[in-house]
Amino acid sequence: MQQQKITPLQNNSRILLVGDAEAAFSDSHGLASLQLQQCPTMLDAISITAQKTFDTICIVMAGFGLRMRAAMKTLRQVNPAAKIILLVQMYEEPFAIEMTNSPNKQAGYADDYAICPITVENFRMDILRQGRPDSQSVQNIAETAVQPVPQDTQTLEQLTRLATEDDLTGLKNRRYAREFLRQIIERAKEERMRLTLLIFDIDNFKHYNDVYGHPAGDDILRQAAILMRSCCRKHDVVARIGGDEFAVIFWDAPKESDLENGRRAAQGEHPHEIFFIAERFRHELNAAHLPSLGPEGKGVLTISGGLAGFPRDGSTVQELFTQADNGLLEAKRSGKNRIYLVGHSDSDLNA
């Protein structure tokens, strides 16, 4: 890869972009249209901000890793008034959430983050807040449009959530799950990281909708989402991918040391560990009480699921989804209310 260079400092530039632009933007060539300063490393950013004050500092996480915390603290101290925004890949979102939710912003943590890849136009409109239509233009458009034009940041953030989240359960949606899985597979190939996909659905879900009505069915889906989240680790991705079908992507959380991840990946323990997390969820849902199902609503829900691990069962998004789906079908054929780990028998798991 060609070494990045520091762009000449522009007197009217109040925006600093740190890191590999190609890792963050799907059309990075378009950045030339923006008046911003670019530099490749955090050390360069610290040096530049010591000479000039910036309103916004955008940091491309890719390539920096968790060791950037100390540099971020220094960057904040040098330029305390700047808004710091992290540009992250989906698998880096747990770190970004940790940084933006910290109450100690003065310690160098970020103010906000955005999921990549993004376009230069979205960067301009939603992150830099530039190029928005004036109030009269918005009024004219609203008078002729079927849907009102978003006019504030809160509305834009709501639209962004709708594009990646399921509105009924609050989980991630199918689109997010598949793109996240694609990105994390690429990282797993490079870092020998463990990765397991669970696909499950609720047994006889149509029966509950038919007998108790769709509001009760919605209640079941929301309850399943809450329980699944409580059983998973914070960084795992839980998604509703359609109807009563869910997907969970279990992956190794970012660590200061990649050596431990590599050792565990070599041992191939991940599918077995995740099997017991899935079993815990299955048992908790079995015991759940659902008032919407009346007095007989306790202990009636069961699920069937399939687990597939990378790279043993597949090395692409489609291969993992296909194998996990096959595991789900095998669980159904075997009498339901069970989790099937692709390529293993019950005796293997209980050994």
Which tens digit of pLDDT belongs to each residue from 117-143? 888 988 888 777 765 434 343 333 234
**Are 180 and 75 contained in the same domain?**
no
At 60, is the pLDDT very low, low, confident or very high (cuts 50, 70, 90)? very high
Q: What is the pLDDT of residue 155?
A: 52
Q: Are 108 and 75 in contact (CB under 8 A)?
A: yes
**Are 120 and 244 contained in the same domain?**
no
With a CB cutoff of 8 Å and minimum separation 6, the contacts of 50 are 78
By the 10 Å C-beta count (0-12 exposed, 13-18 middle, 19+ buried), 104 is classed as exposed
Residue that is last in its domain, among 79, 97, 131: 131
Query: And the tokens for 154?
Result: 């809160």
Residue 146 lies in a domain: no
**Are 122 and 181 contained in the same domain?**
no
Residue 70 lies in a domain: yes
Identity of the residue numbered 230: S
Percent of the chain with pLDDT over 70: 75
Domain of residue 62, CATH code? 3.40.50.2300
**Are 193 and 125 contained in the same domain?**
no
For residue 246, is pLDDT > 80? yes
Domain of residue 226, CATH code? 3.30.70.270
Residue 333 lies in a domain: yes
Residue that is last in its domain, among 70, 100, 131: 131
For residue 350, is pLDDT > 70? no
Residue 167 lies in a domain: no
- Give the 3-state secondary structure of 97-146: HHHHHCCCHHHCCCCEEEECCECHHHHHHHHCCCCCCCHHHHHHHHHHCC
For 142-190, the pLDDT digits (tens) are 343 334 434 444 554 555 566 789 999 999 999 999 999 998 999 888 8
* Total structural domains within the chain: 2
**Are 344 and 283 contained in the same domain?**
yes
* Closest C-alpha to 229, from 248, 256, 202: 248
For 182-214, the pLDDT digits (tens) are 989 998 888 888 899 999 999 999 999 998 899
Bond prior to 133 in cis (omega within 30° of 0): no
Which structural domain, as residue segments, surrounds residue 64?
Answer: 15-131
- Strand-pairing partners, residue 38, are 17
**Are 197 and 295 contained in the same domain?**
yes
Residue 78 lies in a domain: yes
**Are 106 and 207 contained in the same domain?**
no
Q: What is the pLDDT of residue 3?
A: 47
At 332, is the pLDDT very low, low, confident or very high (cuts 50, 70, 90)? very high
Residue 2 lies in a domain: no
- Of 3-12, 89-98, 249-258, the poorest mean pLDDT is in 3-12
Residue that is last in its domain, among 79, 104, 131: 131
Distances (CA, A) of 293 to 245, 270, 304: 20, 36, 20
